[in-house]
Amino acid sequence: MILVTGVSGGLGRLVLQGLSALDGVDVVAGTRGGDGSTARPIDFDDPASLAEGFAGVDVLVMISAGYAEDDVVLARHGAVADAAAAAGVRQVIYTSLAGSGERTTLALPHRWTENRLAEGPFDHTILRNGLYAELLGGLSAAAAAPAAESGIFAAALGTGRMSVVAREDLADITVRVAAEADGELTTGGRSRHAGRTYELEGVTALGGDEIADLLAKKYDRPVTYQPASLSEARAALAGQGFEAYQITHTLSLFSNMGAGFLEAKDSDLPELLAAAPRPVHDLVADAAG
Ligand SMILES: NC(=O)c1ccc[n+]([C@@H]2O[C@H](COP(=O)([O-])OP(=O)(O)OC[C@H]3O[C@@H](n4cnc5c(N)ncnc54)[C@H](OP(=O)(O)O)[C@@H]3O)[C@@H](O)[C@H]2O)c1
């Protein structure tokens, strides 16, 4: 049996839908708000929910729960590893962060979790997810709005580019890996995905100039990209109601993009997808707008 955590989220919902659509796959949903009938209550911050929720699970699709300070994320992901070991889960599939994000502040809890899972008695598979197209759009949104009037898109993206991916592609690969792992365990073997780490970088990279072009189409007017400084970006984020850790991560993404670190060279994405990677430009433009 496969359990997918975090099914109220964008990625978890897609993974659950994909697995549920497959014949002969036994899948159950987990979410903090689970009522025990349609979905199991699974809260990484509540170890008791994990002890009960992981009962009978062979393959655990552990959707990262990264929206918190690092100490909280480490504690909750560590609790998942402990509970999976205690429950006899045979394989944990974890949604991590792609290598292009290695120097961002987002990477630390992901790499810690990868190490923690590697110490477990179960097999593990690491899906190092690329940065979402919506993330780049979201980072651009505050600067995109005034561009409709001014024609100037002033964002702290430097001259670098970010490789981005459609969340649906990541979900499709998660479904494939989980279904294959479950099938292989059921027939008495070890999954071909055991011990593997896949770099699921987006195959398209966009920077400030490309986003300005997308905005020009959207607003039906010329738009020019103008790099803003990190201190301007920090000042713009202050007072907008973000948690402090969100500002840390956002500035880190801007900083890494400016340094040119977020453009990936290689990706396992095409090899693991049944079709070509989905286009990302509209996803970025919609999220930016
Ligand atoms: N690669 C990227 O660009 C990128 C961007 C943003 C986020 N992420 C990471 O990828 C994850 C999945 O992305 P998404 O798009 O599905 O995010 P999302 O739509 O914002 O959903 C947030 C997810 O976090 C889960 N969660 C929060 N607190 C939890 C807890 N205490 N215990 C268990 N689950 C908890 C939620 O599960 P429930 O169903 O229980 O509410 C939900 O699945 C995120 O949580 C984040 O760690 C990656």
pLDDT tens-place string over residues 77-87? 999 999 999 99
pLDDT of residue 239: 83
Could you identify the atom of ligand 1 that is nearest to the CA of residue 101?
1
Report the predicted TM-score, pTM, of the whole model to 2 decimal places. Answer: 0.97
The pLDDT tens digits of the residues spanning 255-284 come to 999 999 999 999 999 999 999 999 999 999
Class of domain 2-132+165-200: alpha beta
Every domain of the chain with CATH number 3.40.50.720 lies at 2-132+165-200
Give the number of other CB atoms < 10 A from CB of residue 93: 26
CA of 95 to the centre of ligand 1 (A): 10
pLDDT of residue 188: 87
Q: What is the mean pLDDT of residues 102-110?
A: 98
Q: What is the mean pLDDT of residues 147-164?
A: 97
Structure token pair of residue 1: 């049996």
The CATH T-level fold of domain 133-163+203-264+277-288 is UDP-galactose 4-epimerase; domain 1 (3.90.25)
Please say if the pLDDT value at position 240 is more than 90.
Answer: no
Closest to 53 measured CA to CA, from 67, 39, 70, 69: 39
Q: What is the mean pLDDT of residues 67-82?
A: 98
pLDDT of residue 289: 85
Q: How confident is the model at residue 143 (pLDDT cuts 50, 70, 90)?
A: very high
Which amino acids bring their CB within 6 angstroms of ligand 1? 5-12, 31-32, 42-45, 63-67, 76, 95, 129, 131-132, 135, 167
The pLDDT tens digits of the residues spanning 211-238 come to 999 999 999 999 999 999 999 999 999 9
Q: What is the mean pLDDT of residues 140-162?
A: 96
pLDDT of residue 162: 98
pLDDT of residue 201: 98
Q: What percent of the chain has pLDDT over 70?
A: 100
pLDDT of residue 134: 98
Could you identify the atom of ligand 1 that is nearest to the CA of residue 44?
32
Please say whether the beta carbons of 12 and 6 come within 8 A: yes
Every domain of the chain with CATH number 3.90.25.10 lies at 133-163+203-264+277-288
Could you identify the atom of ligand 1 that is nearest to the CA of residue 32?
40
CA of 107 to the centre of ligand 1 (A): 15
pLDDT of residue 189: 86
Give the number of other CB atoms < 10 A from CB of residue 129: 28
pLDDT of residue 255: 98
Residue 127: strand pairing partners: 95, 198
pLDDT of residue 72: 98
Structure token pair of residue 236: 């713009």
CA of 63 to the centre of ligand 1 (A): 6
Can you spell out the DSSP letters for 88-114? T--EEEEEEE-GGGTTSTTHHHHHHHH
Could you give the maximum distance between any two Cα atoms of the chain, in Å?
A: 63
Please say whether the beta carbons of 72 and 81 come within 8 A: no
